[in-house]
Amino acid sequence: MWIRLLGQVQLRAGSALVDVGPAQRRLVLAALAADAGRLTPREVLVDRVWGTSPPSGAWRTVQTHITHIRALLTRVGVPGEPVRVRRGGGYVLDIDPDMVDVHRFRRLVANVATYGPADADRTALWREIMGMWRGEPLAALDGEWVDRTRDAWYGEYRDAVLGWAYAEIRAGDPTMAVGPLTDLVSRYPLVEALPAMLMRAHYAAGRRTDALDCYATARARLDEELAERPGAELQSVYQAILRREPDLPPPPGVLPAGAPVPAQLPADVRGFAGRRDHLTRLDAIAATVSGDAAEGGGPAAVVISAIAGTAGVGKTALAVHWAHRAARRFPDGQLYVNLRGFDPSGAVVDPADAVRGFLDALAVPPERIPADREAQAALYRTQLADKRMLVVLDNARDTAQVRPLLPGAPGCLVLVTSRDRLTSLVVTTGAHAIPLDLLTPDESRDVLTRRLGAHRITDEPEAADALAGLCARLPLALAIVAARAATNPQFSLSDLVAELTEAGTRLDVLADTDPATDIRAVFSWSYAALTPAAARLFRQLGLHPGADITAEAAASLAGLAPPLVPPLLAELTRASLIAEHVRGRYTLHDLLRAYAAELVQARDHPGRRHAALHRILDHYLHTAHTACRLLSPAREWVTPPPPRPGVTPEVLTDPGQAMAWLTTEHAVLLAAIRHAATNGFDAHIWQLAGALAIYLDRQGHWHDLAATQEAALAAAQRLADRPAQAQAHHFVGTAHQNLGHFGEADTQLRRSLHVREQLGDHAGQASTHIALGLMFAQQGQHRRALDHARQALDLYQAVGHRRGQANALNEVGWQHAQLGNHRQALRYCHQALALQQELGNRAGEAAAWDSIGYAHHHLGQHAQAITCYQHSLDLSRDVGARYSETEVLVHLGDTHLAAGDPEAARIVWQQALTILDDLQHPDAGEVHAKIEKLGRLHP
């Protein structure tokens, strides 16, 4: 059985067409089939059939139609009860969604991403998808829901045609795409991707003149309609056609136009030597990704190489060196993450955090990233579909840590390094296992030769071989030995052999390797050669909570004036004890971190260790506090106690610097909170978590927000600090609200409210009431939202908190407007406006003008609404609130249209769309649909 909606609404049983009945019954069937397998509530069904003005008895009529539809489906063989009633009066069309053409259409479009761009099955699947489209969706039906749905499905069809057309062009059948593309260009004259694809089709079919004519028409239309020039894609295709290039530029991928190609590889290894067989094997594996291996053809799945070996054996060096050599094979970029699977601090990277980092590297805007971590992983796989990318997952703990980071479609190569053999990854995914053992004697000598010069090796060949043996032929140990020899040319290699042989201690981390290896002694050479100040700093780096550190933070850790630190870091870098892996940021290999941690525990008094930890936590706390005040100056922040002597917080002077610092230090700040918890710095936990809250909330890191605030709550409870407990409950509730966990959000916010009531904190209570109101408004419960906004207003008024009063007045007014009480809305919002103007809060004033305009619009007072929106617009632009500006533009366009000026509506909606496209915000689709519908109604 098939239910067809992409064309006339039809019910087919086998090859036979079954008569559904009159148009209204077909509409009821379509309304149910659009939600096949899911509940369609009673009010939704009525709205889909009659719109906002249903006649009396509408529901009884719907029930009559459903009775006939149920009998019809039973007659054609649908088992069980094909249309089931649910509590509350809704219905479920209980069939496989794949039996409805629009749902199958969507599933198949999603499945296309699992095929490689050159896969013949991909083209065949696109042809099946296109064959499902039989004309105008829901043909011969009308109504508001039909119009909205038809527009939306046409948009999906348009996007699918672009994918299908490009597949046909690549498959050598470009003429098949010309007709459908031409029709869509007429329907969507301002969607530049369509003429660009049509130009590709004409050009591939040998019709260069037609392609150039297509460009000329598109350019003229853009100039006439929008007074704009063609965009980047049209221009690039046009220029390539003028140059008669054999291959035209492909359509833009998932990355936004102009975004840089990710290039996250660390710097290549200086003096890399050996591993020729491994490099050759990696080259052969990469050839299967690009399809140029001897057997020909691309891979059927993601290609994975798993480099495994003991610590210090050079896994990362091999992976990074080969990745730089092979980068040209992966034109869509390289992603890299150190998963820190065996970090001595235990701070193993959560795969979900790595996914989020990759989404940031792929330039996905925060507002497009879903809160759910599984959804983030799915978005990551979508971003890599049809891409040729190299993904390096360094220092993985086990297969479980790697699996969520694997792309879902072929075309990418994943290079994993780990001390674990990753056997299950090899078994389940067909990963290529590349075990990495110690260097051979010849390779070890080659390493020393490249770093020390041939003459020192040829002068003492036996000593060179002895050094390699004492270093267990570990590349890391050899590099440190070579650094000591290079910086002390007066030492013979024999002297170094004697010194290493006499050392009597061992690094426990390497207990599973050759017992003769003394890596701690190797480390001690570099450490012993340091100046006292550099040695002290190296030890203190073993106390640092994060994976890397800046010079400014290192100064606070050491309690030194900032100008004194860069020379010490340079000394440690020259000694190969730290590495500047990114400009201005320093890191330690995990073995060296363990060594530094051992040294600081053994040689530094507990009081000195405690003071250093206190200083670095103060550094991050006070810098984060400055950043959050810059990002939200109107908010009342708890000022932390003065920092300890020797702490120099970083200087941030504007919101842009604040956001950049928080973004860069995000992972370190989370690690600092964990470190504070481990070492008993409870006050730092809740204060640092509070300072980090605004960044985590704005960037959509709500899981991190919940985790840090739960740690803050536990710390506040240990301290018996009731105000801190109230703040933590509030922020935990905010995190769960944004994650859609409304039950937990309600619990946490009410606990915050309870504590603040006990404390007599009226302003805090009001803030929590505002949060509760926003939570209920998010669920469409505007009456409850209004109640909380009113309580917030009363509390703010009771304590004379004028900024809070202004915000609460506007919130009360806005909720009244959502409930249709527009005159009451005006009364409250005008009070809010006057107070915001008195306080000089221009952002709050802009919000009040927007609310007032909204109320005037719904009262039919369009001239007043337009004036209000213009005030709001000017203020939003002044304060740089770009998203708020788009909201006002959309409202202004609605009013222009209601006032009978569709051209003015088109102009402001286009302005909103331009900003939303620039922000890559999902609201762009809704505004685009408004413009398209306006074009049909008012051509």
CATH at 371: 3.40.50.300
515 and 554 assigned to the same domain: no
Residue 670 has what pLDDT?
93
pLDDT confidence bin for 111, thresholds 50/70/90:
confident
Alpha-carbon distance 886 to 913, whole Å? Answer: 8
696 and 624 assigned to the same domain: yes
Amino acid at 438: L
Residue 198: is its pLDDT beyond 90? yes
Any residues with CB less than 8 A from the CB of 123 and at least 6 apart, and which? 167, 168, 170, 171
More confident residue, 632 or 839: 839
By three-state DSSP, how is residue 439 classified? Answer: coil
For 262, 453, 489, 664, the CA distances from 335, given in Å and listed in that order, are 6, 34, 40, 17
Residue 516 has what pLDDT?
31
With helix as H, strand as E and coil as C, how does 843-904 read?
Answer: HHHHHHHHHHHHHHHHCCCHHHHHHHHHHHHHHHHHHCCHHHHHHHHHHHHHHHHHCCCHHH
DSSP, residue by residue, 108-175: HHHHHTTS-TT-HHHHHHHHHHHHT--SSTTBT--SHHHHHHHHHHHHHHHHHHHHHHHHHHHHT-TH
Max avg pLDDT among 492-496, 573-577, 687-691, 777-781: 687-691
- Residues 410-456: tens digit of each pLDDT: 778 999 998 777 878 888 788 888 988 878 888 889 988 988 888 89
Contact by Cβ (8 Å): 774, 736: no
288 and 377 assigned to the same domain: yes
- Residues 246-259: tens digit of each pLDDT: 888 877 653 443 45
Which of 267, 423, 426, 418 minimizes the C-alpha distance to 340? 418
Residue 372 has what pLDDT?
78
* 493 assigned to some structural domain: yes
**Helical ranges in 531-680 per DSSP H:** 532-541, 551-558, 565-574, 590-603, 606-631, 655-678
Question: Which is it for the CA torsion 663, 668, 670, 672, positive or negative?
Answer: negative
920 burial type by CB count under 10 A (0-12 exposed, 13-18 middle, 19+ buried): middle
547 and 674 assigned to the same domain: no
Question: What is the pLDDT averaged over residues 861-873?
Answer: 94
* 849 assigned to some structural domain: no
- Residues 364-384: tens digit of each pLDDT: 777 667 777 888 888 888 888
Quick one: how far is CA 390 from the chain centroid? Answer: 19
DSSP, residue by residue, 272-284: ----HHHHHHHHH
Angle at 330 between CA 265 and CA 244, to 5 degrees: 135
* 768 assigned to some structural domain: no
* Full residue range of the structural domain in which residue 403 is found: 276-435
641 and 684 assigned to the same domain: yes
With helix as H, strand as E and coil as C, how does 225-252 read?
Answer: HHCCCCCHHHHHHHHHHHCCCCCCCCCC
Alpha-carbon distance 555 to 544, whole Å? Answer: 12
Q: What is the CA radius of gyration of the chain?
A: 33
Strand partners, 418: 308, 396
Residue 159 has what pLDDT?
84
Strand partners, 587: 548, 579
With helix as H, strand as E and coil as C, how does 650-697 read?
Answer: CCCCCHHHHHHHHHHHHHHHHHHHHHHHHCCCHHHHHHHHHHHHHHHH
Residue 647: is its pLDDT beyond 70? yes
More confident residue, 409 or 566: 566
Q: Where a domain ends, among 173, 200, 223?
A: 173
- Residue 246 is part of a domain; what is its CATH number? 1.25.40.10
* 827 assigned to some structural domain: no
Alpha-carbon distance 660 to 652, whole Å? Answer: 10
- Provide the whole-model pTM: 0.60
* 893 assigned to some structural domain: no
168 and 33 assigned to the same domain: yes
Question: Which is it for the CA torsion 79, 81, 86, 89, positive or negative?
Answer: positive
Residue 101 has what pLDDT?
92
- Report how many helices (DSSP H) and strands (DSSP E) the chain contains, helices first: 41, 14
* 106 assigned to some structural domain: yes
- Residues 887-925: tens digit of each pLDDT: 899 999 999 999 999 999 989 998 888 877 665 555 677
Q: What are phi and psi of 777, to 5 degrees?
A: -60, -35
Residue 259 has what pLDDT?
54
Max avg pLDDT among 303-317, 329-343, 551-565, 733-747: 551-565
Q: In what order do the strands lie in the sheet with 10-13?
A: 2-4, 10-13, 16-18
Whole-number average pLDDT of the chain: 85
What DSSP element (H or E) covers 11? strand 10-13
Strand partners, 756: none
Residue 937 has what pLDDT?
84
- Residues 23-81: tens digit of each pLDDT: 999 999 999 999 888 888 888 888 899 987 888 888 888 888 988 898 888 888 877 77
Q: Where a domain ends, among 528, 545, 560?
A: 528
36 and 168 assigned to the same domain: yes
pLDDT confidence bin for 782, thresholds 50/70/90:
very high
Question: Which is it for the CA torsion 781, 786, 788, 792, positive or negative?
Answer: positive
- Residue 29 is part of a domain; what is its CATH number? 1.10.10.10
Alpha-carbon distance 552 to 257, whole Å? Answer: 35
103 and 240 assigned to the same domain: no
Contact by Cβ (8 Å): 189, 932: no
422 and 280 assigned to the same domain: yes
* 735 assigned to some structural domain: no
55 and 16 assigned to the same domain: yes
133 and 65 assigned to the same domain: yes
Any residues with CB less than 8 A from the CB of 112 and at least 6 apart, and which? 122, 125, 126, 129, 163
pLDDT confidence bin for 709, thresholds 50/70/90:
very high
Alpha-carbon distance 34 to 103, whole Å? Answer: 8
Alpha-carbon distance 4 to 141, whole Å? Answer: 13
Report which DSSP code applies to 415: E
Which of 733, 742, 737, 741 minimizes the C-alpha distance to 712? 733
Residue 367 has what pLDDT?
64
- Residues 263-306: tens digit of each pLDDT: 899 888 777 888 888 998 998 888 877 544 333 444 556 778 88
What is the CB neighbour count within 10 angstroms for residue 243? 8
Q: What are phi and psi of 209, to 5 degrees?
A: -65, -40
- Residues 80-90: tens digit of each pLDDT: 778 776 655 67
* 841 assigned to some structural domain: no
Q: Where a domain ends, among 698, 719, 740?
A: 719
The structure tokens listed for 505 are 């201690």
Question: What is the pLDDT averaged over residues 350-356?
Answer: 91
Quick one: how far is CA 259 from the chain centroid? Answer: 15
For 624, 704, 937, the CA distances from 659, given in Å and listed in that order, are 10, 17, 44
Residue 512: is its pLDDT beyond 50? no
The structure tokens listed for 51 are 């719109």
Alpha-carbon distance 156 to 351, whole Å? Answer: 32
Number of structural domains the chain divides into: 6
Alpha-carbon distance 555 to 575, whole Å? Answer: 19
319 and 425 assigned to the same domain: yes
620 burial type by CB count under 10 A (0-12 exposed, 13-18 middle, 19+ buried): buried
